[in-house]
Structure 1
Amino acid sequence: MHEMSIAEGIIQVLEEQATEQSYQKVKTVWLEIGPLAMIETEALSFCFEAVTRDTLAERATLHIINTTGEAFCMQCLKNVPISQRYDSCPECGSHQLQVVAGDEMRIKELEVE
């Protein structure tokens, strides 16, 4: 379950930023996750709750914002929406797609004290 290591990485980022930005407690975390990021959001929520115990983010609320996937079609030369890797182009049916958005995860916003 790589969601546990992702949750631990989030806590590490929060702790580093707490030092740099002088906050003591994280109350809410908003994460943007694309459909191509290969992250199981329910598992990530569970792991986040587990790894926040005894940290500055204990009892913090995690909000997940789902973003959209997008790829560039090398056949019809258009950016097209996709929902999973290896989708075909909805315009021309080609499988020559290069992902341009939707494979990322980032901390979008924090509520801190």
Structure 2
Amino acid sequence: MHEMAVCESLLSAMEEAAKAQNFSRVTRVRLAIGRFAGIEVEALRFGFDVVMRGSLAEGAELVVLEEDGSAWCFDCCETVALSHRLASCPKCGGERLVPNGGTDMKIKDLEVL
């Protein structure tokens, strides 16, 4: 379950931000997660609760904002929205697609004290 490692990295990023911006507590974390990022949201929620225990983010609310996936279609030369990675092009039915959006995860913002 790589979501635990993701949560550990998230905690490190929050600790660095706390030092740089002089805050001591995180009460809410908003994450934007792309549909194709390979993150299992329920596993992330579980890992978040476990990893944040005893830290500046213990008890913080985790808000997940799912971002749409998109891909470039070589058949119709368009960027199209996709509901899942193996979908056909919704415009032309082509199957030669390269994902170009919704593949990452980023911290949108933190609510801090």
**TM bracket (short chain):** over 0.9
C-alpha deviation, 1:14, in angstroms:
0.4
Which residue of 1 is the match for residue 80 of structure 2? 80
**4+ runs of 1 displaced by more than 3 Å?**
none
Question: 1:93 and 2:107 equivalent?
Answer: no
Which residue of 1 is the match for residue 49 of structure 2? 49
Match of 2:36, as an amino acid? L
Which residue of 2 is the match for residue 35 of structure 1? 35
Matches within 5 A, 1:16-31: 16-31=16-31
Match of 1:24, as an amino acid? S
Structure 2 runs not aligned, ≥5 long: none
Match of 1:35, as an amino acid? R
Counterpart secondary structure, 2:14: helix
C-alpha deviation, 1:100, in angstroms:
1.5
TM-score (norm 2): 0.96
Alignment length, in residue pairs? 113
C-alpha deviation, 1:86, in angstroms:
2.3
Which residue of 2 is the match for residue 107 of structure 1? 107
CA RMSD of aligned residues (A): 0.9
CA contact 1:36–1:83 (8 Å) conserved in 2: no
Structure 1 runs not aligned, ≥5 long: none
**Identical residues among aligned pairs (%):** 43
Q: Which moved more, 1:78-87 or 1:49-58?
A: 78-87
CA contact 1:69–1:101 (8 Å) conserved in 2: yes
Counterpart secondary structure, 1:11: helix
CA–CA distance in structure 2, aligned partners of residues 57 and 30 of structure 1: 12
